[in-house]
Amino acid sequence: MAKAELLRRVVVERGLRHAGPDLRVLDVGCGVGVLHPYLKGAFECLEGCDISQESILRASQENPSVTYTVCTTPNLPYDNGVFDLAFASCVVHHVPPASWLGFVREMRRVVRPGGAACIIEHNPYNPLTRLAVFRCPFDHDAVLLSAAKTASLLQEAGFSNIRSEHFLLLPSGGPLARKVERALAPLPLGAQYACSAHA
């Protein structure tokens, strides 16, 4: 899965392994943990939190090696600086825009100095993405945000060295297709994008 590959690459490119071999990673808004089987073995400790108790129960049943927590408040239920990496995959567009900055600030709070964060979102400039979101009942409340907006939120929350890349442009997942996608990553063409940053 492209998202799992991207997150593994963020760990390498952000030098997170240099700080120690045991990485503690948080998936903010993890849902039913659909991404977690693809991340098996990537991190020593993977945790997930979500507002839905039903989703957390299902995620726990399907991914017993992952630690899950229900989170129904704006503040994440973790101490300051306890994670090496925090990521949110296609979550922020479900958060009310007035709460976007608070959401990202909470990600910053729980990441240690020198750690990193990654936000993966739908690309609002891709017409097929907009159509898919429009047709999806689950996305009825969605407010899509651009990579530039996400980058500005990360900066305002106190992150630095922010990088954005677009992906899921081509249907193939082969090496050549991935190479082409990486070359075109700065352009807002792919169906999704990722913004990563240092804490």
Place of tokens 């979102």: 121
Select the more confidently predicted residue: 17 or 86. 86
Q: What is the pTM of this model?
A: 0.90
What is the band of 133 on the pLDDT scale with cuts at 50, 70, 90?
confident
Domain residues for 82? 2-198
Handedness of CA 5, 103, 50, 21 (dihedral sign): positive
Our count of domains for the chain comes to 1
For 140-165, write each residue's pLDDT tens digit. Answer: 788 999 999 999 999 999 999 999 99
Mean pLDDT of the chain, nearest integer? 89
Q: Where are the beta strands (DSSP E) in the chain?
A: 24-28, 45-50, 67-70, 83-89, 111-122, 160-167, 192-198
User: Residue 99 belongs to a domain with what CATH number?
Assistant: 3.40.50.150
User: 103 pLDDT exceeds 90?
Assistant: yes
3 state SS of 194: strand
Percent of the chain with pLDDT over 70: 87
User: 128 pLDDT exceeds 80?
Assistant: no
Two tokens, residue 67: 């630690």
H and E: helices and strands count for the chain: 6, 7
Phi and psi at residue 157, in whole multiples of 5°? -80, -5
Q: Kindly state the average pLDDT of the residues 98-109.
A: 97
Q: What angle do CA 96, 102, 103 make, to 5 degrees?
A: 70
Q: How far apart are CA 79 and CA 63, in angstroms?
A: 24
Concatenating the DSSP letter of every residue in 107-149 gives HHHHEEEEEEEEEEEE-TT-HHHHHHHHH-GGGTT-----HHH
User: 184 pLDDT exceeds 60?
Assistant: no
Lowest mean per-residue pLDDT among 40-54, 116-130, 168-182 = 168-182
What is the band of 191 on the pLDDT scale with cuts at 50, 70, 90?
confident
User: 172 pLDDT exceeds 80?
Assistant: no
User: 170 pLDDT exceeds 70?
Assistant: no
